[in-house]
Each structure stands twice: as C-alpha cells, then as structure tokens.
C-alpha cells in the first residue's frame, strides 16, 4: 500500500538548503538567506503533522556543488536513523533541484519518503508559491511510502527520475517530458496515479560521510563534465574535459544521440583512458536509440559510450557521478563501473516508432546488453 495516512500523527523533518523559497531582496537582486524556521512559518501545517527543522545550508541552487548534495544525502540517512521520523521534506532551489533529487533517489533505501520542493517566487512576496508548495510537500511526506524520492510542485507529484525543470518562471516548474506525473495533491488529499520505476538503490558512498561544502583542502570529488554538441561542433571541449581531469563526461548529443565521426573518435580515446562516457540528447522528450552511423549513436556506442535512455544531461551526469563514487577508494574496475552505470541508466521500456528497420535499438534495449 503506497498511501499510508490513516489520520494518525506524523513527524516530518524539514531540511532547509536555501533557494528561491528562502530568498529575500538584497538591494540588487534576490538571494537565499531566510532560515528554515522562517520558511516554515509561512505555511500552515497539515492536520496531524508535527515538524522539526534542520538548517543544513543556505545557497542559491545555481551554486550547488556535489559536496553540498553529498552532505544532504548524509543528513537524509542520519535523519532516517531515527525510526520515529515518518518522512523528510527538503526545501531547495529550483535550478538544480532535479540533480539533487536524483542523487538522493539513487541512494534511497528507506520506505519512508523524501520530498523536494521549492518556489518560483521569492520568500515573503504576496503571491508567493512557496507556502502552498511546502504545505503540499508536507502532506505528501505524511501520506506515502515506498515511492522513493519525490518532487512536489504546483499540486503535482513527480518521481525524481526523469523530472526536470521545464519552466523558467511559471509556477508549474517541473515535469517529466517522457512520462506522466506520479500523482497530485490538493484539498488535503494525495492521489498516486502510477508507481515510479527505480533501479536497486546504492549504498551510501564513502564520500558522503566526509563531504563538507566550501572547506579548503577537502578531498576532491570526481569531476564529471557535460559537453553539448551543435552545428559546427567538434571534439575540442570533450578533449578539454579529459585534459582537465574529468573521470566522467556526458555528451549532450543531437536527435536520438548523434554527433560526428570526429567526436566518436574522441569518445573512443576518452574511454581508452578510463573516462566514463554517457550520451544524452538536447531533445526535450523521448529515448535515445542506435539508428545512425556517421558519428551517430551507433558509432558512439561502438566507441564505448552508454546511452542514457530518457534521462537528460543533468541527471545523466548524476548517474555517472554515482557510479564513480560507488568505487570509493578501491582499485578502479572499469568493467564493473560501466556495468553499474548501465544499470543506473536503465529506464522503462516504451514503444517508439522505428525510424530504421532491422538493427535499430532503443536505449532501454542497449542498456540490457552485457
């Protein structure tokens, strides 16, 4: 049973990380500075819900780092060590919320929910959406189980996987362009319309135990870069990423996963140097597929890259990062690392119109190959 609210008391922990929901006017623009208690004070509490606040950090989410995200991941696991906690709500900026949500989901082993929310309009504005989103997030956190990490925004409930920011300013900021929403919330009711499809969760990585944002001299985390292909695109930035020490690269290709022969050759060189390469697409919706040669997905996969299914570049980067972090300080094992990334990238199989006969393969089919 995924809906659990029987009217009994629910204890929810709100972890505050900043973002627009906590942003106030600074004279020239808005920046996150309101405390979690200040943010919570703007929203009514659902009936039967008690709330505790953890002020973890307070940043605009465009300044989010992997160290911030791993510190949050550690805090989520520490919070759930208390069996009396029924759920967690994370208030977060919208710019990188999709990345943080996916990282948490990949490592979420608990039946209790983690719900991320935020706002498109700043703290304290008369038409602010933060209070309503926070109320809805608390309602969802108090009402569901076994759904993984969720994004609740503008009355909609989304699975972490596949959900991206699709509106720069509008209130309905998030959706999964390749899937339906998970459910909806309103009038003190949560309706779950489908169940998320998630790979088996990863254990907490060692790096999360020591991650401290902004600490000089901290152990560097794996560098994972995103390189976008475009008309006139060449391998320059992909090679630059390798030269800069990237251990993972996401190539944001065109169409169903296409680039050029020169970029495919650069991918092969990167893979030969132990770099983990994944291929996503600039296109808003739909899976990647091995259809074209001449630098297309057929050649990129032959060069050693993995297609990302329906995951777009930002979340694909998180999958690559998670695969690298799972190695810890042990001896690198490229085959094991690649197999793990393949599993993390696997998504639901969806029927798509074929553009080629015979050998055309969708990303979901490619992901299951040995």
Q: Which residues does the annotation mark as catalytic?
A: 20
CB 54, CB 151: distance < 8 Å = no
3-class DSSP state for residue 32? strand
Tell the residue number behind the tokens 């300080």, with chain if given.
329
CA distance 142 to 83: 14
b (16+ CB within 10 A) / e for 210-226: ebebeeeeeeebbbbbb
Strands, E, within the chain: which ranges? 10-18, 23-25, 30-32, 49-59, 87-91, 114-117, 149-153, 156-159, 164-165, 174-175, 183-186, 189-192, 224-228, 248-253, 276-281, 289-290, 306-307, 361-362
Q: Kindly report the length of the chain.
A: 370
Letter string b/e over residues 37-73, b meaning 16 or more CB atoms within 10 A of that residue's CB: ebbbebbeebeebebebbbbbbbbbebbebbbbbbbb
DSSP string covering 200-257: PPPPPPHHHHH--TT-TTPPPPPPEEEEE--TT--SHHHHHHHHTT-SEEEEEEBTTT
E strands, 39-162, in order: 49-59, 87-91, 114-117, 149-153, 156-159
> CA 48, 89, 223 angle in degrees (round to 5)?
170
């Amino acid at each position: 049973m995924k809906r659990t609210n029987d009217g009994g008391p629910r204890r929810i922990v709100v972890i505050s990380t900043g973002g627009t929901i906590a942003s106030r006017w600074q004279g020239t623009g808005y920046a996150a500075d309101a405390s979690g208690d200040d943010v919570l004070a703007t929203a009514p509490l659902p009936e039967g819900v008690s709330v505790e606040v953890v002020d973890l950090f307070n940043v605009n989410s465009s300044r989010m780092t992997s160290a911030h995200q791993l510190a949050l991941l550690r805090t989520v696991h520490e919070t759930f060590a208390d069996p009396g906690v029924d759920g967690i709500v994370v208030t977060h900026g919208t710019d990188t919320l999709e990345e943080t949500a996916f990282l948490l989901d990949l490592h979420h082993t608990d039946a209790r929910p983690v719900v991320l929310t935020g706002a498109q309009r700043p703290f304290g504005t008369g038409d602010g959406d933060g209070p309503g989103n926070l109320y809805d997030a608390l309602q969802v956190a108090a009402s569901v189980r076994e759904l993984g990490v969720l994004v609740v925004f503008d009355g909609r409930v989304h699975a972490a996987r596949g959900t991206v920011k699709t509106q720069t300013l509008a209130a309905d900021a998030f959706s999964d362009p390749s899937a339906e929403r998970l459910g909806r919330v309103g009038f003190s009711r949560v309706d779950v319309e489908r169940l998320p499809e998630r790979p088996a969760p990863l254990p907490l990585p060692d790096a999360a135990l020591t991650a401290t944002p902004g600490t000089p001299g901290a152990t560097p985390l794996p560098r994972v870069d995103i390189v976008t292909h475009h008309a006139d695109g060449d391998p320059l930035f992909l090679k630059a990423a390798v030269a800069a020490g990237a251990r993972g690269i996401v190539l944001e290709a065109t169409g169903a996963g296409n680039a050029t022969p020169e970029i495919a050759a650069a991918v092969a060189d990167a893979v030969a140097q132990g770099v983990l390469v994944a291929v996503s697409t600039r296109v808003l919706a739909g899976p990647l597929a091995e259809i074209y040669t001449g630098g297309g997905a057929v050649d990129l996969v032959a060069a050693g890259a993995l297609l990302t299914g329906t995951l777009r570049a930002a979340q694909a980067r998180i999958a690559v990062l998670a695969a690298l972090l799972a190695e810890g300080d042990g001896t690198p094992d490229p085959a094991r690392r690649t197999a793990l990334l393949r599993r993390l990238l696997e998504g639901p199989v969806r029927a798509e119109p074929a553009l080629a006969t015979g050998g055309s393969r969708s990303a979901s089919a490619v992901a299951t190959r040995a």
